[in-house]
Amino acid sequence: MKKIMVMFLLVFCIFSFLYPSQLEERIDSISRLEMQSVVEFLAHDLVEGRAPGTRGGNITEIYLKSVFKLLDLKPETNGKYLQPFKLKGFTINNLNVQIDDHKLKYLEDIVGTFTQGAESFSLEGDAVFIGFGIVADLWNWDDYKNTDVKDKIVISRINDPGMFLSDIFEGKTLTYFGRWTYHIEEVARRGAAGIIMIHTDESAGYGWKVVQNSWSGEEVFIESDLSSNLKFRAWVKESRLRQIFKDRDLDLDQLYKMSLKRTFKPVTLGFKVKIDGKNSFRELSNNNVIAVIPGKTSKRVVFSAHIDHFGVDENKQGDNIFNGAIDNGTAVASMVMVAKILKEFQNDLYYTVTFLACNSEEAGLLGSKFYVQNTDRGTIVANINFESTPVWEKSRSIMGIGARFSSFEDILKFLAQKEGIKYRQFSMSNQGFFYRSDQFSFARYDIPSVWISAGEDDESGERKYTQFWKTRYHTVEDEYDPRWKLEGMKQTIKFALLLIDHLNRNKMVPQWRDKLTFPMESVRYKH
Ligand SMILES: [Zn+2]
């Protein structure tokens, strides 16, 4: 057995050392102009921040379709590059929430979204504290213990117990069970009428201002995601909730303490939550843009990068265009370069390769989710996603966000070693980055996926990428700069190509490892 392994490794190494030279030569020849062109256009003020369903958003879709045609890529289905999907947007105009007999101030104490097509609404339910509201077999954790929360208004902590106890869950590294999206999904499955999440700076990872900003505008959903009973989702400021509980002789800290134990059970609080307000809603449509290069098999690898960003904030003074140059212009540009080069090497392709320029990522990974839900998932062996690709100097490392969940990590380590650079984890991984871009839509449907990127440690010792996330991410400052060296981008493109080349040469199907820190939506046909 050992002998066979050694033989196999030997053949495998010779194979992968001999052949990529032509491909690597082509990668080395990538020019700055090639990389600049796409990001320069996408981040232009005239494209107006590429919000889905707006003029700038539509221009972006048409532009990608043209780029795919120029590269001579084929449409994936029915001869069409555009995959339309409908969204529903809801904006609260006025919100009154009364917990017990305390009236909360909209924006100051509470923000929320009502997700039904009604101009005015009212809702009432018994209040139940559900702790973290987590059910996770991996850690033998079940906050519900079969408690029926149907039609109730639940009050939930966010994050996961690992934030407070280092020996459970993944300690301070956020699991998907700690993301606010998970808390909402779980109570929706259980038929609650509403959820109020308790905000603290520590557990959310950001201040009340951020919640206020991101939850006071329009919230957008895929229609089928609204088929549950859950009509209302909101955040409350912890200090305000604490006062209300105090008046009822309820000790929030005591409840918190209980919620850190496996023995926790939901606590019926003995009062009601009453909600009413005014709502506006609309339908909007947008498109994913999809192209394909056929390989020798119909089994395929999907590359993805989202094309949308936040558009224009009309209420903002001065520069009000969210150009999203890095998020996600540079990533789309990277994917286009991968498409361009793979097309040149089409004869070497074992796998068919799909390029998914997906939409409405910023609204909750909606375009990639719609794509995965409506495609033949059984044919997809892996997803390689680009997100906010670094644009500065060369890095000493490469990273694969989420690679640790699958055999992608071994492959990337192997490739990094071969290229003489380090494979490193992202230093900000405690913020759950794997769950926050389109690779996660694939993972939830049982398709091993990875977000590929040059690492943070620039050769000069600077950490420009880390700085970007801390200062310019999701601000109007995320703008195109012609001085960018684009070496980090070239590295990212290079590793994406080496990765697909490796999968192709070895007809490899990436496999999950045992420990997955997120629940699957659905399990696919096994390869
Ligand atoms: Zn992004």
pLDDT confidence of 322, banded at 50, 70, 90? very high
Residues with Cβ within 8 Å of 470's Cβ and at least 6 positions away in sequence, in order, are: none
Q: Against a cut of 0.85, is the pTM above it?
A: yes
Q: In this predicted structure, what is the pLDDT of residue 14? A: 46
For residue 360, the CA-to-ligand 1 centroid distance in Å is 10
N- to C-terminal Cα separation, the chain = 24
Say which amino acid occupies 230.
L
Is it the case that residue 352 has pLDDT exceeding 80? yes
3-state secondary structure 1-56: CHHHHHHHHHHHHHHHHHCCHHHHHHHHCCCHHHHHHHHHHHCCHHHHHHCCCCHH
For residue 362, the CA-to-ligand 1 centroid distance in Å is 7
- Burial class for 171, CB neighbours closer than 10 Å (0-12, 13-18, 19+): middle
Is it the case that residue 152 has pLDDT exceeding 70? yes
Is it the case that residue 11 has pLDDT exceeding 60? no
For residue 358, the CA-to-ligand 1 centroid distance in Å is 11
For residue 309, the CA-to-ligand 1 centroid distance in Å is 8
For residue 361, the CA-to-ligand 1 centroid distance in Å is 7
CB 312, CB 48: distance < 8 Å: yes
On average, the pLDDT of the chain sits at 93
Q: In this predicted structure, what is the pLDDT of residue 249? A: 94
E-strand ranges in 210-338 read: 219-222, 232-237, 267-293, 297-306, 311-312, 321-322
pLDDT confidence of 514, banded at 50, 70, 90? confident
For residue 365, the CA-to-ligand 1 centroid distance in Å is 9
Q: In this predicted structure, what is the pLDDT of residue 523? A: 73
For residue 140, the CA-to-ligand 1 centroid distance in Å is 33
For residue 410, the CA-to-ligand 1 centroid distance in Å is 26
For residue 372, the CA-to-ligand 1 centroid distance in Å is 18
For residue 387, the CA-to-ligand 1 centroid distance in Å is 5
For residue 235, the CA-to-ligand 1 centroid distance in Å is 23
For residue 228, the CA-to-ligand 1 centroid distance in Å is 27
For residue 14, the CA-to-ligand 1 centroid distance in Å is 38
pLDDT confidence of 9, banded at 50, 70, 90? low
For residue 475, the CA-to-ligand 1 centroid distance in Å is 12
Digit-coded pLDDT (tens) for 455-473:
999 999 999 999 999 899 9
For residue 304, the CA-to-ligand 1 centroid distance in Å is 11
For residue 343, the CA-to-ligand 1 centroid distance in Å is 26
For residue 461, the CA-to-ligand 1 centroid distance in Å is 25
Ion ligand 1: residues, CB < 5 A = 327-328
Tokens 């409350």 sit on residue: 236
- Give the closest residue to 208 by CA, choosing from 321, 96, 107: 107
For residue 331, the CA-to-ligand 1 centroid distance in Å is 9
For residue 356, the CA-to-ligand 1 centroid distance in Å is 14
Mean pLDDT computed over 103-114: 96
pLDDT confidence of 19, banded at 50, 70, 90? low
Boundaries of every domain in the chain = 90-281
Is it the case that residue 2 has pLDDT exceeding 60? no
Mean pLDDT computed over 179-193: 95
CATH assignment of 90-281? Answer: 3.50.30.30
Give 378's DSSP letter: G
For residue 209, the CA-to-ligand 1 centroid distance in Å is 21
CB 289, CB 64: distance < 8 Å: yes
For residue 363, the CA-to-ligand 1 centroid distance in Å is 10
Measured CA to CA in angstroms, residue 95 lies from 105, 155, 236, 242, 275 at distances of 8, 18, 13, 20, 7
Digit-coded pLDDT (tens) for 430-463:
788 999 999 999 999 999 999 999 999 999 999 9
Is it the case that residue 308 has pLDDT exceeding 70? yes
